[in-house]
Structure 1
């Protein structure tokens, strides 16, 4: 029996997702895991004949062999079914849009997509499979999407949500019904509580963020306090709000956030609650010891600790700061501003800030012919400063409140380390076309000088086989016919400069990438796949594929989020990448075929062996670039450029890696272990204090490093044997990495990263390695070796060698000979001798096998003779 469930207190997205999942899995039965929200309850009272949803009491739990969960992936949220999803004989399929959940359900199949509502992803699957829907269903699905995306205005809303709503409207979705249930009036008790909360408002500024907090006592529980929080949020323009409602020795806290720097889910987790970054709640059992005002202060204290501005002053400030003395003339100050492109200067005396002189001040005295006068007579003496760990909110407040254009950045010890200007903020928020000119931009401040350089690398093109070279020339001619500029980018030009051929063929088009892909596919006779939402296409040929995209700009609205994309030039397209060595392109148009295009001195960095970031927000946009940098450093034996190394350390200290899901984090570890120099990759993880993100118990010490280096030795030994084996070599590096963990730590590691059963078994077997090594050393004959190793996977045996290479002869003997040893006699010979089947069959056949393994018998006749001897001995006993 299959059932479809959602979380307790099922909302419209949960209900709609259940109905949508039912269309995809028609044999499944829908079941509520608990109560529903009031508006869903009201909806179901009218439409229960159209939607059949059973109660848990209607279900025979013993008959359930599959559970389909929607709009949640947390076992604790599905009430009476929470134990079932952990059972081995129950399959679990999850559809959810919540990313980064902890404690995943072991062995569940997860389909997780970063959209605003679970209903969106299921509607897309219904559409893809060509399944019809009624206008009633379309209306319900629209309700689910509108509720979870705030009618498509929450920041979590994606273009997929909007497209899904458009499709549902085409299918007859009724927006009047949607409006009726999304917005419903408050009852009398809710209105009374709402008025109390309004009267109790307390406003406070924390780290520059405006926080509103409301509190009220209730004589009894009043449902849908979250709705009241939503309405309060609409009435007040705060960065976040918290509602505290106390009743019957319980305290309900509801949080809403309008800024990514304030994660109310993390805040209320402190009180045992949870939810989204933008919406969360917690219920606490209280006593009369604490008044509401005390709870309010505690909430604000936790908020202060949890606020984590995505961008700090130190991330955007300019440094070093040009300073002048009070005796510098206005003319000298004017010339200095012109020379450096500044609109103001900091005035210092004896390493102490004493004033600010601005372009406006100089323009005033210019009319009076006073440029010879010292700046101390005209400078602004009331200098407002800011600390490097202040938030953008605090910068904005200071600039607006004091009507100033620049803020010197000063440490707690009074040291001037940078400056933030009004222009920096404007470029950060609105910069677009000018961001390649060493200014603030959608990516952050450029770390490179921008100058187009072109190199003739025709000699390197000789490394490419003739067939691939002909294909690239044909693509260039096609681009010419369409009047497009065509480039090959990514790993191909980087590795070609290094004298290597990379068969990842990423083409970018200044023009229309999809149109180019269509025409090229026709020309080459390839299979074409188009992805309109990303503006990309893939042309698949018999033995290779071409990834084609329009040159574009992309930026990240928040840390570790998916990028937003807009069209751009090849220069802009290259600048959006991670490192200078990956920002190279080879033009394929006929007139410029084979020219290496380099805007950011990537070729020079390749030659110097340097890894240099292109922009200072790069690691905040995409923390996986940290791991990519480690892979390049280990693969090519390169070093990090000084500023880049500082940014790596700073990003790691700010815990940006915590933003990555466990799946993405493990994937980056796997890629590093599969790369050319996994040992150095691991050493870099240790050097930058990243190993603890995988498990606090992992240690990189001298013993571990020796074992990791032994992996290559053992793999070379295995390859020399020329034995056909099937396993993934990177797994050996992982086994060595975690071999110091105990059983509990390995299980925690496996749960955190959803490790598959085979890999989990390999990690668990490694715990017994020392025991196996001792037994192998003590083995007196071949049969002892055989019976010990036959139950081990090839990875297990190789790990024994990694730990003790002196066992090579024993393991070689097993791999080359013993594992293939079989006996020709069977139970048929025993029956022919007049015996009836029984335990003796296995016992004597095992003895024959041991004898053959030890070389005591070889031919069939010898086996049969020894078998008869064994049977006779058994009869005489």
Structure 2
């Protein structure tokens, strides 16, 4: 909406004009333009009653502004507040209080993109021009307002400075049109040039030198940028001028200045990149701006805290400079020149491509002759040219790019050159890949999705799916856990970092499964946060600086795992990953499945916000297990075990693509590079599940067991024995008062039953089992098999004989024997031993034998065994019975030998 002609003549009790704090030339010039539209208005500068402009020309025009100090403003008389070059109330200082009054009309003129918290005026003239002056000039023209040459010159300065001398990416046609009108009004461009390129005074030279000394050059996504710092006790005006001078002098594309002054951090950013939104980035610091420039004032934070947060945000806002090597598809599909059209069509169908490179073998590498498209081939086939050779109709004029070619060259070749497929050529290795139109389109769509827009500013580093799940948390979580999570969020706010509870805890919350294993990811320094939080609870902290992790142990023994948000990369398939600090999204990206990538933010302002970068909620709803990227299993084959385990545990299905990628990874032989200890750790996790049998069968279906060792192949007998093992384990746990049986060992013994003794030992050593575990799985299991055969022939037996047969075996072997027994009679006998006989011990001891007159010696053991046998057979009930029994033994022995001396 634009002001109408009565605006200038209406009687206004009091009209104020203002702009943002630390006003630049565009803000100053726009206030002057507003003064021409509202001649009875007074101008108030926020944050300063006595502004000091360094350039003489601007100072000489201050009389035109009709300035009034804020202390003289009487709010009760104000009817209209005119705000130029901003629409954020936080940026107009003490005048922000006037925007809350229902009696004061707001008239807003601003060229910055929309942002959360924008004021909305009764008159609202906003558009994305290079400068606010360019929005106001058409209004001056509409109301036939003429300017003096000095006024026109000042307005031209505003346009020139905010558009980088009409060279920034934010410059629009409206800026040129406005400047043309200003020149017709007498704007003096030499004066504009003198002001904008004026010489530095001694103090500015010192500041510039300090900026140069503290400058740090870095690269984000392949894009270079410079970060510099200043520190002063009092406010320094004209920082924007210094930033502009610094960029021009050093030929910098992206620059950030962090200046600590008057107890606050002033952050200024400038960019010459067309695909970076500086204003949207500054909104995270409660500032603003447009695509090429932005600024913010930050309170209660240090330079280090601001820098840390800025660098995190740059991971999103800095455009990525993709190279051909990152975009290309491999391998490149090729055919020879003497291939027929019919064969070429079949090859394109097989690989689902629309173009093929035509090559012939050279001395050291394949030589590129050209390319053939599906369109050419299909047209030929429609004319019965089935046997026509490709070499007769190939496209020979083909552009290529090197592996390090930037995106703009790739776009020029594919879009500008209308080339369907672009070969990527390495001087030493020849054709290393191709870039198709689809590859380029997918990249451009991805960039569009991930590039933040000023019209859709995101509250975190990336743009995930989010929803509020506070009510679900309150419904499902114990009050103790809720209070703990809330305290973690408060501590994160105090530490100036973002904290999230992630992974299995969040997954199981959505699945309505109990899980109180709390894993916290911190964007920042996880160890420092852990120590700060522990101090509020008088808790203990064990930190692991190498990995940026810590474990907090509360006074009741409850533990919380804390990790610094990190990314990881693999130097080779199946190798352990290298890790480095990163963002939440990168931290979640390194996880195994989408259902484990969900996070809940704990900071107070966003407490209870579920963050879903990888559609994990959808996969939970669809009961589908899906990996995050296609090389996941190649990088870490142990994820295949976890896929199988989760599929059974949650009743999910492994997605079709994920199944194919599992099969591909196994076919590639990735497990040959995997350490046995890591593989065994995942196998144990599967075997410890309440019912691991479906997972074991799934491992067999994927031929994963055979991939570890060819002898580990399930048979029908083994499968049946696995099912019996589960029954035996469940039965044992019901009868045992204190179950100390390692469930996984029982199942693992069963898995090894098809193996010979030598093969079983080889498997145990490949998987790095402990020596006692190996002996149990091989030697003791074989002894157990022999014992089962013996029992089958001997039963029924006296309890003492049954005890003698079985007491030598560990619990795991006995449970295995229950499962492997051929008859219920044998199973009942073993169960009887476990539940009734195994714990039987004589009450009488060696000292009792000594009191009966028997000197210490080998006979002690023999007599105690006799007592045990009698007790097992139900002949002895009490210690008195045992004492009398021993006395009879001694008496009978004495009579047989004549005196006790002979039995000493």
TM-score, normalised on structure 2? Answer: 0.49
Deviation, structure 1 residue 875? 4.6
Match in the other structure for 1:717: 731
Deviation, structure 1 residue 434? 5.8
Match in the other structure for 1:784: 801
> 1:518 and 1:828 mapped to 2: Cα distance?
56
Match in the other structure for 2:789: 774
Q: Secondary structure at the match of 2:522?
A: strand
Match in the other structure for 1:624: 638
Q: Which string of whole-angstrom CA distances, capped at 9 and with x for unpartnered residues, describes residues 719-746 of structure 1?
A: 2224324232211111111123222222
Q: Which string of whole-angstrom CA distances, capped at 9 and with x for unpartnered residues, describes residues 613-637 of structure 1?
A: 1111212222221222122112112
Q: Which string of whole-angstrom CA distances, capped at 9 and with x for unpartnered residues, describes residues 678-703 of structure 1?
A: 21221122111121244322221222
Match in the other structure for 2:481: 468
Q: 5 Å matches for 1:105-116?
A: none
Do the aligned partners of residues 717 and 874 (structure 1) sit closer, same or farther apart at CA in structure 2, a change above 3 Å counting? farther
Q: Secondary structure at the match of 1:349?
A: helix
Q: Secondary structure at the match of 1:462?
A: helix
Structure 2 residue 620 is matched with structure 1 residue 601 = no
Q: 5 Å matches for 1:121-270?
A: none
Select which of 482, 496, 508 maps to 1:495: 508
Q: Which string of whole-angstrom CA distances, capped at 9 and with x for unpartnered residues, describes residues 514-551 of structure 1?
A: 43323212222222333333333332223222222333
Q: 5 Å matches for 1:2-81?
A: none
Deviation, structure 1 residue 861? 5.6
Structure 2 residue 354 is matched with structure 1 residue 323 = yes
Q: Which string of whole-angstrom CA distances, capped at 9 and with x for unpartnered residues, describes residues 776-804 of structure 1?
A: 34143111101111211111111110112
Contact 1:634 1:681 in 2 (8 A): yes
Match in the other structure for 1:217: none
Structure 2 residue 497 is matched with structure 1 residue 484 = yes
Match in the other structure for 1:526: 539
> 1:540 and 1:825 mapped to 2: Cα distance?
46
Select which of 634, 643, 654 maps to 2:668: 654
Q: Which string of whole-angstrom CA distances, capped at 9 and with x for unpartnered residues, describes residues 364-398 of structure 1?
A: xxxxxxxxxxx9xx9989x999xxxxxxxxx7448
Greater shift, 631-640 or 532-541, is seen at: 532-541
Deviation, structure 1 residue 816? 3.5
Contact 1:486 1:509 in 2 (8 A): yes
Do the aligned partners of residues 498 and 828 (structure 1) sit closer, same or farther apart at CA in structure 2, a change above 3 Å counting? closer
Between structure 1 and structure 2, the one with the greater Rg is 2
Structure 2 residue 760 is matched with structure 1 residue 746 = yes
Select which of 534, 549, 552 maps to 1:539: 552
Contact 1:554 1:576 in 2 (8 A): yes
Match in the other structure for 2:407: none
Match in the other structure for 2:819: 802
Deviation, structure 1 residue 451? 5.1
Q: 5 Å matches for 1:494-573?
A: 494-542=507-555, 543-573=557-587
Deviation, structure 1 residue 399? 10
> 2:845 and 2:634 mapped to 1: Cα distance?
66
Do the aligned partners of residues 709 and 583 (structure 1) sit closer, same or farther apart at CA in structure 2, a change above 3 Å counting? same
TM-score, normalised on structure 1? Answer: 0.50
Contact 2:715 2:754 in 1 (8 A): no
Deviation, structure 1 residue 863? 1.0
Structure 2 residue 689 is matched with structure 1 residue 682 = no
Contact 1:556 1:562 in 2 (8 A): yes
> 1:617 and 1:828 mapped to 2: Cα distance?
69
Do the aligned partners of residues 830 and 653 (structure 1) sit closer, same or farther apart at CA in structure 2, a change above 3 Å counting? closer
> 1:705 and 1:574 mapped to 2: Cα distance?
37
Q: Secondary structure at the match of 1:736?
A: helix
Do the aligned partners of residues 713 and 667 (structure 1) sit closer, same or farther apart at CA in structure 2, a change above 3 Å counting? same
> 1:567 and 1:752 mapped to 2: Cα distance?
34
Q: 5 Å matches for 1:89-128?
A: none
Q: 5 Å matches for 1:854-869?
A: 854-858=873-877, 859-860=881-882, 862-864=884-886, 866-868=888-890
Contact 1:526 1:540 in 2 (8 A): yes
Q: Which string of whole-angstrom CA distances, capped at 9 and with x for unpartnered residues, describes residues 800-835 of structure 1?
A: 101125434323332333234344667788888888
Q: Secondary structure at the match of 1:313?
A: coil
Greater shift, 860-869 or 598-607, is seen at: 860-869
Contact 2:663 2:702 in 1 (8 A): yes
> 1:674 and 1:435 mapped to 2: Cα distance?
45
Do the aligned partners of residues 776 and 324 (structure 1) sit closer, same or farther apart at CA in structure 2, a change above 3 Å counting? closer
> 1:825 and 1:487 mapped to 2: Cα distance?
61
> 1:540 and 1:734 mapped to 2: Cα distance?
34
Note the residue ranges of structure 2 that are not aligned, 5 or more in a row: 1-327, 335-347, 357-370, 401-413, 452-461
> 2:870 and 2:527 mapped to 1: Cα distance?
69
Q: Secondary structure at the match of 2:476?
A: coil
Contact 2:489 2:604 in 1 (8 A): yes
Match in the other structure for 2:721: 707
Structure 2 residue 778 is matched with structure 1 residue 756 = no
Q: Secondary structure at the match of 1:515?
A: helix
> 2:531 and 2:695 mapped to 1: Cα distance?
40
Contact 1:357 1:380 in 2 (8 A): no
